[in-house]
């Protein structure tokens, strides 16, 4: 481990409060020029004694703005203290989780996986336009049928076509023969540059893509590409649970990665993480953002610094070994669930490194699905699949009644 290590509650508190002290204090100094302040004091009392023991809530009240990207160039000096924590967080994720070499990555805390994925596609689209004089219709996003809907959303906003690779219904693996045909056709339709999105655990199945399936086909057809990994779901799971995790930054084919802290890390919503190798953020710089010190290379603009602090606090509370144990406990429970489903003869998909189990809907009576809050693949028409996500609140004691009900139902 490079910098990620477990800290005590007191160490965490000291670190956050000392960072807040390095930010501007609107009460101590006269600040006339920024459209920002601490939270409204009539509503959010700053003097409550417990705030002194609550670094995250204090960060909310002081309300630092982390506009822009702080791992490169200049940033707003008013909030330099807490931006330092965000920089540290980005380096921990890049180096200690994603296996980058130290100081080789930029990144920021985005509003979520949707924005982080869009940031990647936006950067590569602009790169292909700027460096290869590409036209919009010559640049495609390539993902799979199991990819998240943020890919078609981004294709729509960025005004470039999307190609969705077929996956096998049982293995959830991309069909290489079909992909070959799809890309042949794309080439005939003048696609010259491709943004590949590789899944590190899909939302519905927890499946993980084989990157070479995409890159082999693209190399054979001599199509130029850049690779982004969507680890919104799996970024804080798969690198810890897989025997030999790939799709990390020690693979030179991969340029950027999305992770969501508001899923498995249980951070507040608004905590997507975008990581990219140095030298690429510039393709998203908006030169017109002249009033922002250091300008802005992010999709979002103003964003709360408290979000970055919350993720940093969680990671530091666990430390790398505590996090490893937490993920392995979830996987242990997932394996328990799969063993029970095997005994009942229920057909399901589970990637061995994943805490997600997706069962064929034909085995799951609707009333049981409803009773246990199990999520279908579609709310519009007939469900094909139902998934269980083994989170920290989903213990074997919670899973057992479901298995018993299911056993009863399958008997009759
Ligand atoms: C949840 C998810 C997203 C989108 O994340 P939001 O945080 O909801 O914007 C993208 N990709 C995958 C694989 C996801 O599971």
- What is the secondary structure of 312-380 as a DSSP string? HHHHHHHHHHHHHHHHHHHHHHHHHHHHHHHHHT--EE--TT-SEEEEEGGGS-HHHHHHTTPEES-SS
Angle at the Cα of 64 from the Cα atoms of 61 and 65, rounded to 5 degrees: 135
Mean pLDDT for 147-160 is 98
Instruction: Write out pLDDT tens, residues 330-374.
Output: 999 999 999 999 999 999 999 999 999 999 999 999 999 999 999
Burial 375-394 (b: 16+ CB within 10 A, else e): ebbeeeeebebbbbbbeeeb
Q: Which residues line ligand 1 (CB under 6 A)?
A: 112-114, 117, 148, 150, 202-203, 230, 232-233, 260, 272
Mean pLDDT for 268-287 is 95
Q: Kindly give the distance from the C-alpha atom of residue 320 to the centroid of ligand 1, in angstroms, as a whole number.
A: 23
Q: Are residues 325 and 300 in the same domain?
A: no
Q: Kindly give the distance from the C-alpha atom of residue 106 to the centroid of ligand 1, in angstroms, as a whole number.
A: 20
Q: For residue 117, which atom of ligand 1 is closest to its CA?
A: 10
- Per DSSP (E only), the strands in 90-216 are 105-110, 139-144, 162-165, 193-199
Residue 283's pLDDT is 97
Residue 318's pLDDT is 98
361 in Cβ contact with 386 (< 8 Å): yes
Residue 36's pLDDT is 77
Burial 251-273 (b: 16+ CB within 10 A, else e): eebbbbbbbbbbbbbebeebbbb
Q: What is the domain extent for residue 230?
A: 70-306
Per-residue pLDDT for 69 more than 70?
yes
- Asked whether residue 54 is domain-assigned, the answer is no
Q: Kindly give the distance from the C-alpha atom of residue 232 to the centroid of ligand 1, in angstroms, as a whole number.
A: 5
Q: For residue 199, which atom of ligand 1 is closest to its CA?
A: 13
* pLDDT band of 46, cuts 50, 70, 90: confident
DSSP 8-state class, residue 67: -
Residue 359's pLDDT is 98
Residue 243's pLDDT is 93
169 in Cβ contact with 145 (< 8 Å): no
Q: Kindly give the distance from the C-alpha atom of residue 202 to the centroid of ligand 1, in angstroms, as a whole number.
A: 9
CA distance linking residue 176 with residue 314, whole number of Å: 40
- Asked whether residue 22 is domain-assigned, the answer is no
Q: Kindly give the distance from the C-alpha atom of residue 112 to the centroid of ligand 1, in angstroms, as a whole number.
A: 7
Mean pLDDT for 84-104 is 98
Q: Kindly give the distance from the C-alpha atom of residue 23 to the centroid of ligand 1, in angstroms, as a whole number.
A: 32
Q: Candidates 121, 149, 199, 203: which one to mutate for ligand 1, based on the most atoms within 8 Å of Cβ?
A: 203
User: Which domain CATH number covers 334?
Assistant: 3.90.1150.10
Q: Are residues 172 and 265 in the same domain?
A: yes
> What is the residue-averaged pLDDT of the chain?
95
Phi and psi dihedrals of 368, rounded to 5?
-70, -45
Which of 258, 283, 306 is a domain's end point? 306
Q: Candidates 202, 260, 263, 268: which one to mutate for ligand 1, based on the most atoms within 8 Å of Cβ?
A: 260
Mean pLDDT for 111-139 is 98
Query: Left, alpha or beta for 376 (phi > 0: left; psi -120 to 50: alpha)?
Result: beta
Q: Kindly give the distance from the C-alpha atom of residue 228 to the centroid of ligand 1, in angstroms, as a whole number.
A: 14
User: Which domain CATH number covers 292?
Assistant: 3.40.640.10
- Asked whether residue 53 is domain-assigned, the answer is no
* pLDDT band of 291, cuts 50, 70, 90: confident
Residue 1's pLDDT is 64
Q: Are residues 287 and 348 in the same domain?
A: no
Per-residue pLDDT for 160 more than 70?
yes
Q: How many CB atoms lie within 10 A of CB 33?
A: 7
Mean pLDDT for 193-216 is 98
Per-residue pLDDT for 174 more than 80?
yes
How many separate domains does the chain show? 2
The reported pTM is 0.96
CA distance linking residue 35 with residue 114, whole number of Å: 27
Q: Are residues 287 and 346 in the same domain?
A: no
Mean pLDDT for 213-230 is 98
Residue 231: beta bridge partners?
Answer: 259
Q: For residue 201, which atom of ligand 1 is closest to its CA?
A: 13
Which of 281, 306, 331 is a domain's end point? 306
CA distance linking residue 162 with residue 143, whole number of Å: 8
CA distance linking residue 317 with residue 319, whole number of Å: 6
Q: Kindly give the distance from the C-alpha atom of residue 233 to the centroid of ligand 1, in angstroms, as a whole number.
A: 6
Mean pLDDT for 86-92 is 98
Q: Whose CA is nearest to atom 6 of ligand 1?
A: 113
Mean pLDDT for 186-203 is 98
CA distance linking residue 85 with residue 83, whole number of Å: 5
CA distance linking residue 315 with residue 248, whole number of Å: 19
What percent of the chain is modeled with pLDDT above 90?
86
Find all residues with CB under 8 Å of 276, minimum gap 6, and list them.
105, 106, 107, 120, 123, 255, 256, 257
Q: Are residues 250 and 384 in the same domain?
A: no
Q: Are residues 291 and 357 in the same domain?
A: no
- Asked whether residue 370 is domain-assigned, the answer is yes
Q: Whose CA is nearest to atom 10 of ligand 1?
A: 113
- Asked whether residue 166 is domain-assigned, the answer is yes
Q: Are residues 273 and 388 in the same domain?
A: no
Helix, coil or strand: residue 387: strand
- Asked whether residue 216 is domain-assigned, the answer is yes
Residues 64/75/261/97 CA torsion (nearest 10 deg): -140
Q: Are residues 179 and 280 in the same domain?
A: yes
Structure tokens at 126: 């602009």
Q: Kindly give the distance from the C-alpha atom of residue 358 to the centroid of ligand 1, in angstroms, as a whole number.
A: 17
DSSP 271-284: -EEEEEETT-GGGG
Q: Are residues 98 and 227 in the same domain?
A: yes
Residue 286's pLDDT is 83
Per-residue pLDDT for 31 more than 70?
yes
Q: Are residues 185 and 155 in the same domain?
A: yes
- Rg of the chain over CA atoms, in angstroms? 23
- Asked whether residue 237 is domain-assigned, the answer is yes
- Asked whether residue 252 is domain-assigned, the answer is yes
Q: Candidates 110, 114, 208: which one to mutate for ligand 1, based on the most atoms within 8 Å of Cβ?
A: 114
Q: Which residue in the block uniquely carries the two structure tokens 């992909």?
A: 179
Q: For residue 200, which atom of ligand 1 is closest to its CA?
A: 13
Lowest mean pLDDT among 17-26, 31-40, 203-212, 380-389: 31-40
Which of 306, 329, 359 is a domain's end point? 306
Instruction: Write out pLDDT tens, residues 234-257.
Output: 999 999 999 999 999 999 999 999
Q: Are residues 268 and 146 in the same domain?
A: yes
Residue 7's pLDDT is 98
Q: Are residues 77 and 206 in the same domain?
A: yes
């Amino acid at each position: 481990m490079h910098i990620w290590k477990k800290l005590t509650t007191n160490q965490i508190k000291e670190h956050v409060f000392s960072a807040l002290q390095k930010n501007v204090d609107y009460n101590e100094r006269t600040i006339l020029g920024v459209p920002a302040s601490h939270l409204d004091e009539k509503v959010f009392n700053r003097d409550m004694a417990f705030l002194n023991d609550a670094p995250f809530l204090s960060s909310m009240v002081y309300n630092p703005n982390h506009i822009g990207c702080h791992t490169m160039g200049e940033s707003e000096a008013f909030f330099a203290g807490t931006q330092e924590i965000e920089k540290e967080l980005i380096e921990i994720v890049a180096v200690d989780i994603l296996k980058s070499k130290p100081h080789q990555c930029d990144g920021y805390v985005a509003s979520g996986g949707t924005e982080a994925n869009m940031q990647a596609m936006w950067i590569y689209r602009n790169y292909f336009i700027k460096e290869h004089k590409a036209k919009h219709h010559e640049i495609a996003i390539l993902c799979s049928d199991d990819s998240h809907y943020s890919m078609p959303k981004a294709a729509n906003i960025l005004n470039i076509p999307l190609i969705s690779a077929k996956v096998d219904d049982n293995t959830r693996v991309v069909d290489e023969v079909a992909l070959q045909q799809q890309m042949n056709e794309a080439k005939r339709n003048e696609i010259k540059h491709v943004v590949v999105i590789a899944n590190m655990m899909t939302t519905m199945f927890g499946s993980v893509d084989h990157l070479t399936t995409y890159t082999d086909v693209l190399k054979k057809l001599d199509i130029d590409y850049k690779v982004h990994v969507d680890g919104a779901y799996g970024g804080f799971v798969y690198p810890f649970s897989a025997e030999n995790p790939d799709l990390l930054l020690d693979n030179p084919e991969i340029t950027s990665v999305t992770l969501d802290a508001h899923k498995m890390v249980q951070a507040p919503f608004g905590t997507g993480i975008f990581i990219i190798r140095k030298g690429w953020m510039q393709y998203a710089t908006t030169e017109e953002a002249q009033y922002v010190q250091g300008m802005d290379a992010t999709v979002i603009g103003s964003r709360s610094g408290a979000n970055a602090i919350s993720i940093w606090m969680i990671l530091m509370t666990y430390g790398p070994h505590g996090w490893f144990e937490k993920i392995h406990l979830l996987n242990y429970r997932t394996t328990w669930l799969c063993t029970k489903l095997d005994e009942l003869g229920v057909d399901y998909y589970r990637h061995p490194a994943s805490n997600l189990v997706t069962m064929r809907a034909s085995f799951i009576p609707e009333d049981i699905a409803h009773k246990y809050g199990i999520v279908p693949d579609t709310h519009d028409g007939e469900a094909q699949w139902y998934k269980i996500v083994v989170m920290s609140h989903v213990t074997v004691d919670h899973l057992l009644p479901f298995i018993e009900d299911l056993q009863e139902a399958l008997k009759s």
